[in-house]
């Protein structure tokens, strides 16, 4: 068996593309790095969409590229398992007075040769499991990036809205100051408008800091540095879908698609093959056949053969067999546990998704339009001299809270949607969050653009 041309990455690429994360690439040469760099610059030339962000992360995140090296290690173990260790040469020289005795032998590991099919099969299962894990890491990164993109766009949108609120509050405070100076407004009203302006200024500062934090989180996942960090984002989050997805059949879909379930099954199958190999070799763990050639001073050359058999007089392999059986049962139970958790996580993620959708659409269809109608009515009443400027300003302050709540609900829906996609294809949201720091460059020289 020889090394494959792509190091086994083709299956990883197919698995990720089938689950909505096309564009994964293993950078293994300078030419690959140049090609990736050109593609990243091309994607950064326009405002960064969610899909473009995912593609950049799959191409450019150095943490993910480091994980792909595990594929090469697993393939090397597979190739090694498929190759026979070859003969073993032995040479001895003895001298007694003027007599010199030489002995030359060559041994062949027969048991190793016979067990190659079993050991290769076990390593093939481990290699397949490594491919599953690599695809899982790529999908995890894609979903992290998608969530970070939603967070960055929402934070930018919130900061822009708070800038408008702060400008309006500043104008209101200035109006209150001037009206109070000429005696038309009481000091209490002026103080309220100044307090609203001060609070809006503080909220704007928080919003700007949240914008920086969200953008930097996205930048780390994209693997960007230098000029690349100046990318542009869309002004608004995507619109909510017209209807929520149905929950029927999601658990079965997760058991078919989730890579952690497939990897757990692969581990159990690999250990089953290993258990068979252990049982085969529990009583005899070394059989070597050798050819001998012996020369002795003044004597004809002696030729023959030798069989070396290691007999386990004190160890009949019971401990090794028991260990292999326990490892196999451990893998079986872990596979069952993974399937149970997968079903539970899908139910939990769908409940969060549906709740977020209902809340966001409630704000979109009920609260925000109602608040808009109230503001329009207040303005008409003010123009008709049926309400005071105090009521108009108070209504404007109430509208700020409603708009901010809608933006937050919209962001939470898209994040819940990404979590549901991950629960269907990859693993639990908690596991992904725990793995997130390893996906970002830990320091040192930047690895990409």
pLDDT at 234 (0 to 100): 92
* Domain annotation covers residue 442: no
For residue 145, name the pLDDT band (cuts at 50, 70, 90). very high
* Domain annotation covers residue 293: yes
For residue 449, name the pLDDT band (cuts at 50, 70, 90). very low
For residue 19, name the pLDDT band (cuts at 50, 70, 90). confident
* Domain annotation covers residue 300: yes
pLDDT at 81 (0 to 100): 73
Cα separation, 246 vs 173, in Å, equals: 49
**Of 115-129, 172-186, 190-204, minimum mean pLDDT range:** 115-129
* Domain annotation covers residue 3: no
Q: Is the pLDDT of residue 55 over 50?
A: yes
Cα separation, 158 vs 233, in Å, equals: 13
pLDDT at 1 (0 to 100): 66
Sheet holding 88-96, edge to edge: 88-96, 99-109, 287-296, 299-309
| Residues 6+ positions from 381 with CB-CB distance below 8 Å | 387, 391
* Domain annotation covers residue 445: no
Q: Is the pLDDT of residue 368 over 50?
A: yes
pLDDT at 446 (0 to 100): 40
CB 164 within 8 A of CB 150: no
Q: What is the arithmetic mean of pLDDT over 200-224?
A: 93
pLDDT at 409 (0 to 100): 92
Q: Is the pLDDT of residue 69 over 90?
A: no
Question: Per-residue pLDDT tens for 324-349?
Answer: 677 777 777 777 777 888 888 888 88
Give the range with max mean pLDDT: 21-30, 143-152, 363-372: 143-152
* Domain annotation covers residue 230: yes
Q: What is the arithmetic mean of pLDDT over 167-189?
A: 78
Among 62, 48, 64, smallest CA distance to 16 is for 64
**Of 31-45, 173-187, 190-204, minimum mean pLDDT range:** 173-187
Q: Which range marks the domain in which residue 307 is found?
A: 9-437
Alpha helices in 223-258 (DSSP H): 250-257
Which percentage of the chain shows pLDDT scores above 90? 17
Cα separation, 370 vs 373, in Å, equals: 5
Q: Which residue has the higher pLDDT, 72 or 202?
A: 202
Q: Is the pLDDT of residue 305 over 60?
A: no
Q: What is the arithmetic mean of pLDDT over 296-317?
A: 58
Question: Per-residue pLDDT tens for 247-285?
Answer: 888 888 888 877 677 777 767 766 666 666 455 444 444
* Domain annotation covers residue 262: yes
| Residues 6+ positions from 340 with CB-CB distance below 8 Å | none
pLDDT at 20 (0 to 100): 75
Q: Is the pLDDT of residue 214 over 90?
A: yes
Tell me the CATH number at 309.
Answer: 1.20.1600.10
Cα separation, 409 vs 358, in Å, equals: 9
Q: What is the pTM of this model?
A: 0.68
Q: Is the pLDDT of residue 169 over 60?
A: yes
* Domain annotation covers residue 447: no
Average pLDDT, the chain: 77
Cα separation, 168 vs 149, in Å, equals: 29
Which percentage of the chain shows pLDDT scores above 70? 73
Give the range with max mean pLDDT: 66-75, 183-192, 378-387: 66-75
**Of 81-95, 265-279, 346-360, minimum mean pLDDT range:** 265-279
For residue 395, name the pLDDT band (cuts at 50, 70, 90). low
Q: Which residue has the tokens 């609260």?
A: 367
Q: Which residue has the higher pLDDT, 90 or 409?
A: 409
Structural domain total, the chain: 1
Question: Per-residue pLDDT tens for 97-107?
Answer: 777 777 777 76
For residue 447, name the pLDDT band (cuts at 50, 70, 90). very low
Q: Which residue has the higher pLDDT, 240 or 436?
A: 240
């Amino acid at each position: 068996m020889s090394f494959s041309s792509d190091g086994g990455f083709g299956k990883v690429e197919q698995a990720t593309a089938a689950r909505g994360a096309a564009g994964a690439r293993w950078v293994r040469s300078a030419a690959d790095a140049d090609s990736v760099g050109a593609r990243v610059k091309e994607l950064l030339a326009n405002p960064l969409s969610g899909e473009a962000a995912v593609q950049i992360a799959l191409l450019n995140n150095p943490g993910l590229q480091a994980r792909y090296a595990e594929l090469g290690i697993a393939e090397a173990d597979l190739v090694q398992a498929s190759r026979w260790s070859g003969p073993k040469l032995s040479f001895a020289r003895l001298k007694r007075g003027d007599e010199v005795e030489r002995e030359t032998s060559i041994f062949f590991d027969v048991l190793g040769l016979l067990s190659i099919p079993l050991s290769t099969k076990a390593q093939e299962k481990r290699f397949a499991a490594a491919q599953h894990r690599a695809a899982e890491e790529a999908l995890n990164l894609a979903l992290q990036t998608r969530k970070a993109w939603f967070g960055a766009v929402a934070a930018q949108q919130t900061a822009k809205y708070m800038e408008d609120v702060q400008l309006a509050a500043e104008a209101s405070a200035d109006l209150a100051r001037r009206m109070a100076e000429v005696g038309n407004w009481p000091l209490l009203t002026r103080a309220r408008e100044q307090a609203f302006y001060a609070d809006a200024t503080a909220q704007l500062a928080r919003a700007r800091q949240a914008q920086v934090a969200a953008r930097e989180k996205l930048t780390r996942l994209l693997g960007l540095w230098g000029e690349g960090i100046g990318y542009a984002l869309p002004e608004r989050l995507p619109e909510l879908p017209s209807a929520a997805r149905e929950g029927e059949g999601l658990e079965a879909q997760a058991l078919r698609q989730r890579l952690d379930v497939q990897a757990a099954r692969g581990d159990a199958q690999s250990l089953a093959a290993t258990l068979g190999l252990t049982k085969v070799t529990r009583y005899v763990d070394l059989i070597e056949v050798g050819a001998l050639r012996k020369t002795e001073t003044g004597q004809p050359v002696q030729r023959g053969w030798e069989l070396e058999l290691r007999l386990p007089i004190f160890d009949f392999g019971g401990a090794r067999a028991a260990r292999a059986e326990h490892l196999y049962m451990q893998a079986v139970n872990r596979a069952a546990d993974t399937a149970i958790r997968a079903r539970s996580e899908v139910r939990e993620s769908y409940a969060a998704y549906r709740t977020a959708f209902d809340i966001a659409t409630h704000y979109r269809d009920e609260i925000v339009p109602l608040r808009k109608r109230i503001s329009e009515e207040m303005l008409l009443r003010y123009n008709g001299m049926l309400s005071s400027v105090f009521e108009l300003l108070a209504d404007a302050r109430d509208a700020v809270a409603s708009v901010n709540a809608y933006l937050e609900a919209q962001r939470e829906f898209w994040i819940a949607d990404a979590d549901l996609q991950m629960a269907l294809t990859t693993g639990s949201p908690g596991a992904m969050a725990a793995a997130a720091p390893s996906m970002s460059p830990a320091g040192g020289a930047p690895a990409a653009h």
